[in-house]
Amino acid sequence: MSVLIADDEALVRAGLRALIHASPGLRVVGEAATGDEALRQAERSDPDVVLMDVRMPVMDGTEATAHLVSRGLRSRILVVTTFDDDEIVFAALRAGASGFVLKDTPPERLIDAIRAVADGDSLLSPSVTRRLINEFAAARPAALPASERLNTLTDRERDVLYAIATGKTNAEIAETLFISVTTVKTHISRLLTKFDARDRTQLAIAAYETGLVVPGAD
C-alpha cells in the first residue's frame, strides 16, 4: 500500500515516514508541505492513501481533499487532525475524506487506520465522529427536505443508515439487526447509490442532515 504524507511540519512528516517504513506492506511514495503540493504529488504518484493535515499553507487540507475527489483520483484521504480543527475536519469529510485520526493516535492504531482506508473502509470512530457531526450538522441545512430523501429508503435501509451514523461496524450492524454481513453490505451499497455518497462517512453525515439522527441525542 502506497502512502503520501501531507503535513507542513517537517518533524511530523519524518515521524510518519519512519512509522510507515517500519510497517510491512506499507511504503511512502511522496511528501508534501502544502495542500497544492499534496495535490501535485497525488496526481504524480497515485498513492493508495493520502495522510492529509488540515492546516497547511497555500492550500489547506480541506480544499486539497475537494480537488482530489473532484479530479477523480483513486487515492483515499485520511485526515490527520486535533480537536481544535473540528469544523475544518467536518468540511473535509463532506469534501470526500474517508475518515480522520487524531495526531495523538497510538502508532499501531494509525497503521490500522491506513490499512482500513486503503481497503475501502471509512474510519468512523463513534466518540469522535459523533462529536463532529453533532456539533456542526445541526447548523447546516440539508441539501433536500428530509422527507424527500428519507422516503426513498426502506425501513431496513433506515435502520442500517442509523447504525452507520452511530459508528457501528458491519458486523455490529448485522448482529443488532439479526441479518448477515453480506446483507448489510447490500443495504450499504443501495444507500450509497440513493444518496450519491462516496463512502460510509458521507452516509453518516447524510443521516444527520436528513434528520434521521438528531444531533446530541443518544
Q: What pLDDT was estimated at residue 131?
A: 62
Residue 132: the pLDDT is 60
Q: Right CATH number for 143-209 from 1.10.3720.10, 3.30.420.40, 1.10.260.40, 1.10.10.10?
A: 1.10.10.10
Low-confidence residues of the chain: pLDDT under 50: 142, 144
pLDDT at 48: 94
Residue carrying C-alpha cell 494509525: 110
Domain boundaries, the chain: 2-123, 143-209
Q: Which residues, other chains included, contact 103 with Cβ-Cβ below 8 Å and sequence gap of 6+?
A: 12, 80, 81, 82
Q: What is the pLDDT of residue 157?
A: 95
C-alpha 110: how far from chain center:
14
Residue matched to cell numbers 467536518: 90
The confidence score (pLDDT) of residue 92 equals 76
What's the pTM? 0.70
- Over residues 86-122, the pLDDT tens digits come to 676 677 777 888 888 888 888 988 898 898 888 776 6
CATH 3.30.70.260 fits domain 2-123: no
**What gap in Å lies between CA 57 and CA 77, rounded to an integer?**
18
